Amino acid sequence: MSLSLQEIIDLEDLRELMRFFYEAAGISVGVMDADHNWLVSIGWQPICTNFHRVNPESRQNCLLSESRIEEYLDSKQEYLTYPCPNGLIEVAIPILLGGAPLGFFFLGQFLHHPPDRDYFRRQAIVYGFDMDSYLQTLERVPVVSQKRIDYLMKFFVRFFDLLTRIGSENQQRRQAELEIQEAKEQLENRVAERTSELNRALLEVGDLAAQLNESLQQVELLAVTDTLTETYNRRKFDETILHEHQRAEHGKIPFSVIMLDIDHFKRVNDEFGHSTGDQVLKHLSRLIRGLVRQGDLLIRWGGEEFLILLPGTLISEAGPFAERIRLEVEQEQFAEDGSITISLGVAQLREGDSTDTLLKRVDDALYRAKQEGRNRVVLQSPLH
């Protein structure tokens, strides 16, 4: 007897299970039947629902991936990782019963590595997407390691194999009850055994989801951390500055930025070597981390240049704070190089500022500090 996926699996139960997995792991899931109809579709990324599947040209890439999935998978493969033509990664497994395909399970719309923003910028231009909105949705795409995906898919291969076998056996049991009453008890025992296996599998999913969530949090932290100094990196700044702009626009809550640079840092590298230079950068970042408040953001901007984002802070407060940092650094003894000095520029967000204009003004202030002799703080007036 030929059975469909809908006949052997309770779709409401399956949707609830998939929703639980998505809420715990943050990875989109879907189940498609043999006729390419979506039965379950949970957690689709906005970059797909709001962009790729809306534009007629990029939507063709989505349909191409779905229509060719049977070509990608054969009976010798448990699952397949394949890149969507729109730039994301998806994983698929066939849902089989007795070797016959009933449908496909998808885990998808993620990346193995931080996104190539230039690639997606070009894609936005080609398809006419709004650049800022498109790149913002790109930031929501999860980054998941290949190892973690392999582990998940091995589980789901076993899970759907168990689920389809249980569903099929339920169908056989109902047919057998009509044919012979004596087989009823035996079939019910077999179903009870399979149900127990399924319950154990669900418990494993819960444990796995918790572990996956913890791992994803660690990956997310690593993605916004500078590996040398253990301060935040530019990606964290890009995420936070949008939030601070919104607070400033809606609540008139000001914020200021300090940009600082080590004076004559090239001399440290030239005289003592780059390894010593790295130790100086680590020492400096530890010192400044001990001075900034909770909620302030210390970012390695590049090379020996650092940025401090001060939420809810006027320049009248940020200036003295910058001077305190300058004095602390001047008085600190660096085992690697004796003593160093820094130059600092300070600017406050003003009405009409974009992130670029704010950074330009604080960079100009830092440049003036260096031109005026270094080891000093220069404030960029918020009114000019």
Question: Catalytic residue numbers?
Answer: 304
DSSP H or E run through 378: strand 377-380
Instruction: Give the 3-state secondary structure of 73-138.
Output: CCCCCCCEEEECCCCCEEEEEEEEECCEEEEEEEEEEEECCCCCHHHHHHHHHHHCCCHHHHHHHH
Residues recorded for the chain:
384
Nearby residues of 146 by Cβ (< 8 Å), 6 or more positions away: 81, 112
Q: Is 44 helix (H, G, I), strand (E, B) or coil?
A: coil
Distance (Å, rounded) from C-alpha 17 to C-alpha 208? 13
Ranges assigned E (strand) in 216-281: 255-262
> Could you tell me the two tokens for 5?
């996926």
Q: Which of 104, 108, 107 is nearest to 38 (CA)?
A: 104
Q: For Cα atoms 104, 107, 112, give the angle at the middle one, nearest 5 degrees.
A: 140
